[in-house]
Structure 1
Amino acid sequence: MAQERSLRISQVGLRGIVGNGLTAAHVLDFASAFSTFLEPGGKIVVGRDPRTSSIMMREGVIAGLLAGGHDVIDLGIVSTPIIQHSIRRLDACGGISIGASHNAAEWNALKFFGPRGTYLSTSEAGELLDIYHLKKFKMAEWREIGKLHSDPDATERYLDELAQVFDIPKLARYSVLVDCTNGTSAPILSRMNERFGTRFILINEPLEGRDFAHEPSTTRKMVALQLAPLMQHVGADAGFLFDIDSDRVAFATERGQAISEEMVLVLLADDFLERGPGKLVITNVSTTALLEEIAARHGGQIVRVPVGRQSAIDALASYRPEQVAVAGEGTGAVMMPQFRFVYDGIASMLAILSMMDRREQSLAAILDGYTTYSILKGKIPLETHRIPEMLLEIEERFPDGVRNTVDGLRIDWPGRWVHVRVSQTEPLVRVICEQRGGPPRALFDQVMDLVRSYGV
């Protein structure tokens, strides 16, 4: 039972606690499945985060891909966005990121990308999962086994692409405090300081595989604990906190205010909708309702999909690139059209700094212009076959709201909503509740207590 709780195999991919659920055998089989899934003979890009277990997983991934006849380009320790950029640059047929993002050090995961450098669609992820479970892997003859290569210039080429979109030297006017959480943002931002003269003040900078300085989650709570208290002390104009693989970011203002991670997408939606041409914002049903106000301000539209990156990729495929202003989640993960919709925390940080520069406003002043929404987020460890029964009881308890069952259950009332769903990546039920104005504490506590009752 302990092993089941610490291993998740789903359309999202493979994620678990290493040695207590996730094993080398899982890694090798998933790599072999991905090799079989892709077109034969193409190059595959691989990169990893600094977790100690990522070295073991790298060996299994590379072995499975080489045995399937694919050449492998190993980028070493890099951010997930660098892997995605490199897939397109190197004309690879796909890529694998080894890293568990916002999870604690004992966790690890495999994330899979197609030839465009984007996450797999729902149908593609389903096909990969079928191959994994059937264990019908294509193996190359000994003469056709792939070759292993490296690409030491991946970070420089990534910075080249960022510099094509952002005036990075101009942003050097800002003093920016960055909590790297011992992850992959540190070498990138250190190099950006050297190359462009930016003034990123890095804390928790050393790469670490076992003992992160703190939990690597991009939440307001973590910003309040680790980043916000230092802002005024160092005189920073803005502060940002990254997860381990740098695809998510959270932030604090120059006043030392810890801001909800939901506001990363809000800020960028406001900026990109204002500047056009895209008028659509793709997000999930767990993300702040403030987005609807922002969209109305610019004549835009919010497209809400189920939680999960496959759902966002599916939605993006339904529209022309120029129709979409931005896409993202309330976790601090945002995709921009300039980068063909790669979740990228560092690009999001540069976009926010550029927004401050264009508007000639401080970060706090920009945020002061938005309606106050208060959001509460909870998670309850729960593995039960009674999930449908639980959702039905919640629905019956609140019959006066508007129901949405696209992903779990969301119930809306004027000015507030609650969403209950099963996590795709962890054995948890998540409860998110938001209200215009002050926190919806009574509603949140009521739903949390009901969910907990199903764990007895």
Structure 2
Amino acid sequence: MKNNLMISVSGVRGIVGDGLTPDVISRFSMAFGTFLKKGRVIIGKDTRPSGEMVKHSVISGLVATGCEVIDLGVCPTPTVLYNVKNLHADGGIAITASHNPSEWNALKFVNNEGTFLTRSQAKKLLDIFNKGSFKTADWQNIGVLKTDSSGIKRHIDGVLRLSFLNIRKLRRRKFRVGVDCVNGAASSAFPELLEKLGCKIKKVYCDGNGKFLRNPEPIAKNLSALGKMVSKEGLDIGFATDADGDRLSIVGNDGTPLGEEHSLALAVSYFLSKKRGNVVINLSSSRMTDDIVKTHKVKVFRSKVGEANVVKKMKQTNAVIGGEGNGGIILPEFQMTRDGMSGIALILSYLLESGKTILQLKNELPSYYIIKEKKKLNSREHKLNYEKIIKLLPKGRINNNDGLRIDWKDCWIHIRKSGTEPIVRIIAEAKSKKEATLLCRKVKKIIDV
């Protein structure tokens, strides 16, 4: 059964009923309760149909080990992490498969610092699970379940206190904003935040009913409905997210999606004008951020893919901002996790202070074209022949910290096995679409041989 699960730094995920079963979920939750040695645990979920089943299995496992469980209900993943830290909880579990389709679900484990488990913490948790060394409570010390409907409000209130926000001016400006939450966990949170910032909003896929009427991944090709609405209504900007509200994508004032890589680049460009310091991005992120960082005369560091890896590097380098090119923006002064809502605050502040349109700001960024391909693997144990790829591609600067990345003067490629899906990801960036496409195509042919 474990072979049908994806277990990584991102947690444990699988297809419900085919690997991810109530038994597996409750056992992982008992392992987490044992790992925490009881204590208070915050939980929250997205809106996918299996959420209630998964939640009750999680509660069962946690209560069995004597934990006090605080259920926030439906809320974005970063809301769970924010509340773990601000309620001084011992840990948390976000129940979501993020950008995966509806048949998937997952558990993302959170430590008492309000960040996802480190690699060493995740290893300890997995050891407990594999050995079945659960420490369950007797009938007199069984844990308790409490509900808390204020988790999103606390999160929004925290965003409104961000140091760079000029709420009075934002409310006077009255930005016209479109929002697409794919009927997921952010369906009430994003609109509520935007209204608090004085925005006039138009919504699409914000019913919170768990019906993913577009692919949950907020990449350009999936945002046509939001783009049409922004264009038709003459809006200033559109914001889209995935099923759990941690990623942020932007649609321009002409209705054209900017591409998820631009969210982090724009956020970094704005925030470094407020506070200089180091920046951390992962190995699959665009060179736009590298070029932006150079103009501010600070340093950029690259980490392995995965939020926990980015956060670890941010702590090591004392970074002031960071994230991932998939639309994940991490602002340490608020919290050490990808957070779509603090990302919205950054982008709207940039629009306000610049006096420019979002398309004008986008056009000021360094110009690159990035192609993201994926290829299904025959099995999760499939090994990629990186040496063969190196041999058949032009000589370049090699980085094998996370799969294989090769850099050349005007382009790069990154090949790695996904930690969240049984696929290999192939990402190439160049000065032209043609060059990036050809680079991806060449690597896919090498892998096929």
* Fold shared per TM-score above 0.5: yes
Q: Is the counterpart of residue 24 in structure 1 residue 22 in structure 2?
A: yes
Alignment of 1:333-372 (within 5 A): 333-372=328-367
Tell me the distance in 2 between the aligned counterparts of 1:195 and 1:11.
35
Aligned-residue offset at 1:345: 0.9
Tell me the distance in 2 between the aligned counterparts of 1:162 and 1:20.
39
Question: Which residue among 280, 283, 299 is the counterpart of 1:282?
Answer: 280
The answer to whether the Cα contact below 8 Å between 1:380 and 1:452 also exists between their aligned partners in 2 is: no
1:292–1:56: structure 2 CA closer, same or farther, 3 Å change rule? same
1:349–1:201: structure 2 CA closer, same or farther, 3 Å change rule? same
Tell me the distance in 2 between the aligned counterparts of 1:246 and 1:54.
15
Q: Is the counterpart of residue 179 in structure 1 residue 180 in structure 2?
A: yes
SS of residue matched to 1:355: helix
Give the residue type in structure 2 aligned to 1:340: Q
Aligned-residue offset at 1:385: 7.8
Aligned-residue offset at 1:437: 3.8
Aligned-residue offset at 1:340: 2.5
Tell me the distance in 2 between the aligned counterparts of 1:305 and 1:259.
24
The answer to whether the Cα contact below 8 Å between 1:273 and 1:300 also exists between their aligned partners in 2 is: no
SS of residue matched to 1:105: coil
Q: Deviations over 1:206-234 (max 9, x none)?
A: 1223x3111110112212x2322322211
Aligned-residue offset at 1:389: 5.1
Counterpart residue number, 2:114: 117
Aligned-residue offset at 1:450: 2.2
Alignment of 1:18-97 (within 5 A): 18-38=16-36, 40-97=37-94
Aligned-residue offset at 1:342: 2.1
Tell me the distance in 2 between the aligned counterparts of 1:193 and 1:396.
51
Counterpart residue number, 1:259: 258
Counterpart residue number, 1:144: 141
Tell me the distance in 2 between the aligned counterparts of 1:197 and 1:20.
45
Aligned-residue offset at 1:163: 1.0
Tell me the distance in 1 between the aligned counterparts of 2:144 and 2:385.
51
Aligned length: 444
Q: Percent identity?
A: 34
Counterpart residue number, 2:236: 237
Counterpart residue number, 1:200: 201
CA RMSD of aligned residues (A): 1.8
SS of residue matched to 1:275: coil
The answer to whether the Cα contact below 8 Å between 1:11 and 1:126 also exists between their aligned partners in 2 is: no
Counterpart residue number, 2:405: 410
Tell me the distance in 1 between the aligned counterparts of 2:443 and 2:321.
32
1:436–1:83: structure 2 CA closer, same or farther, 3 Å change rule? same
SS of residue matched to 2:188: helix
Aligned-residue offset at 1:433: 0.4
SS of residue matched to 1:227: helix
Q: Deviations over 1:327-365 (max 9, x none)?
A: 100110111022122211121112101111111111111
Aligned-residue offset at 1:194: 5.7
The answer to whether the Cα contact below 8 Å between 2:43 and 2:71 also exists between their aligned partners in 1 is: yes
Tell me the distance in 2 between the aligned counterparts of 1:149 and 1:169.
37
Counterpart residue number, 2:212: 212
Give the residue type in structure 2 aligned to 1:302: V
1:7–1:226: structure 2 CA closer, same or farther, 3 Å change rule? farther
SS of residue matched to 1:432: strand
The answer to whether the Cα contact below 8 Å between 1:44 and 1:92 also exists between their aligned partners in 2 is: yes
1:177–1:292: structure 2 CA closer, same or farther, 3 Å change rule? same
Aligned-residue offset at 1:6: 4.9
Q: Deviations over 1:244-276 (max 9, x none)?
A: 110011111102221111111111111122211
Tell me the distance in 2 between the aligned counterparts of 1:231 and 1:87.
35
SS of residue matched to 1:104: coil
1:92–1:317: structure 2 CA closer, same or farther, 3 Å change rule? same
Gaps of 5+ in 1: none
Gaps of 5+ in 2: none
Give the residue type in structure 2 aligned to 1:229: K
Alignment of 1:395-406 (within 5 A): 395-406=390-401
Q: Deviations over 1:66-110 (max 9, x none)?
A: 111110001111111111111122110000000111111111000
Larger displacement relative to structure 2 (225-234 or 60-69): 225-234
1:244–1:170: structure 2 CA closer, same or farther, 3 Å change rule? farther
Q: Is the counterpart of residue 310 in structure 1 residue 305 in structure 2?
A: no
The answer to whether the Cα contact below 8 Å between 1:15 and 1:107 also exists between their aligned partners in 2 is: yes
Tell me the distance in 2 between the aligned counterparts of 1:303 and 1:51.
35
TM-score by length of 2: 0.95
Tell me the distance in 2 between the aligned counterparts of 1:307 and 1:191.
31
The answer to whether the Cα contact below 8 Å between 2:5 and 2:13 also exists between their aligned partners in 1 is: yes
The answer to whether the Cα contact below 8 Å between 1:377 and 1:431 also exists between their aligned partners in 2 is: yes
The answer to whether the Cα contact below 8 Å between 2:322 and 2:329 also exists between their aligned partners in 1 is: yes
Aligned-residue offset at 1:310: 2.1
Larger displacement relative to structure 2 (382-391 or 261-270): 382-391
Aligned-residue offset at 1:189: 3.1
Q: Deviations over 1:143-183 (max 9, x none)?
A: 11111111121122112111111344543410000111101
The answer to whether the Cα contact below 8 Å between 2:16 and 2:103 also exists between their aligned partners in 1 is: yes
Q: Deviations over 1:7-64 (max 9, x none)?
A: 21233221111012211111011101111111x3421001111111110111111111
